[in-house]
Amino acid sequence: MERIGCLWTGGLDSTYTIAYFSKFEVEIQPYYLLDKNRNSQKYELKAIEEISDIFRNDKHVKAKIMPLITKNVDNIAPDDEIKKSFKKLRKQMPLGSQYEWLARFAKEIGSDSLYVSIEKSDHSIGRKCVYDNGDVIHYFENEYEYFSIDKDKSTQDCINVFGRFRFPMSWDRTKKEEVQELVDMGYEDVLKKVWFCFDPVVRNGNVEKCGICNPCRTYIKAGFRNLFSEEALQRYEKIEKTPHWVHQLRDYKNLALIKLGLK
């Protein structure tokens, strides 16, 4: 059985990828990288656990979904080559630091085919970075499809950072299309469990999506208002009216909440 190594965050794109591969007779090995700076970690791990159960109990699933492997980001082996290339790419655009440690992680586990789910979106900086510094090839192997870096058409920095990844079909799907396909596959229950908010808000003992972090705003802009509380939508409307510099700050959420009198 072929082994598919997949990064799984419990969010929509990577969950869509797990659902996509679940139709094939493969062994899916999900990975989750633990990052102490990620406020949403425990909600993501809970989502992964619950969604894994849904897939494992679904008789239409042909793939074998292996237990989740986690690794602390701080414990991934350093790599100067990847670090230097990442720094150069980051001078061009605000590329997320996860690409640097994901590249090191793929190298550490000896993988040149770690599936990293990036959606088709103008807001995806990872995707823009790939196209600004190279190109991808669309492969059709063993029935399933994926994209990977075209090493003949990409810079060495792009190859060093993105070259050990494969981009699953989310590369060619907008969030809206991913949601529609999951609905078509009968996975509305999965959709409800997907977690995507970076900065969940705890109010009266209930955890809710904040409505103002990047993924939340992407979801709301894409039309998924029904996944948010009324309060989260109000926060969204207010943050959209705040000056752009507030969004650039690392702690913008707290600042913004204080400023808006919500905290």
Residues interacting with Zn ion, by CB under 5 A?
197, 209-210, 213, 216
CB of 199 to Zn ion, least distance (A): 5
Query: For 225, phi and psi rounded to 5 degrees?
Result: -65, -25
Q: In the 3-class helix/strand/coil scheme, how is the chain assigned residue by residue?
A: CEEEEEECCCCHHHHHHHHHHCCCCEEEEEEEEECCCCCCHHHHHHHHHHHHHHHHCCCCCCCEECCCEEEEHHHCCCCHHHHHHHHHHHHHCCCCCHHHHHHHHHHHCCCCCEECCCCCCCCCHHHHHHHHHCCEEEEEECCEEEEEECCCCCCHHHHHHHCCEEECHHHHCCHHHHHHHHHHCCCHHHHHHCCCCCCCEEECCEEECCCCCHHHHHHHHCCCHHHCCHHHHHHHHHHHCCCHHHHHCCCHHHHHHHHCCCC
Nearer Cβ to Zn ion, position 166 or 253? 253
CA 145-162-149 angle, to 5 degrees, is: 45
Nearer Cβ to Zn ion, position 88 or 217? 217
CB of 64 to Zn ion, least distance (A): 33
Is residue 76 within 8 A of residue 104, CB to CB? The reply is: yes
Nearest-angstrom CA–CA distance, 24 and 153: 31
Nearer Cβ to Zn ion, position 167 or 196? 196
Nearer Cβ to Zn ion, position 11 or 168? 11
What single letter denotes the amino acid at residue 67?
A: P
CB of 194 to Zn ion, least distance (A): 13
CB of 213 to Zn ion, least distance (A): 3
CB of 247 to Zn ion, least distance (A): 13
Nearer Cβ to Zn ion, position 173 or 209? 209
Nearer Cβ to Zn ion, position 109 or 227? 227
CB of 116 to Zn ion, least distance (A): 21
Using alpha carbons only, how large is the chain's radius of gyration in Å? Answer: 19
Nearer Cβ to Zn ion, position 179 or 213? 213
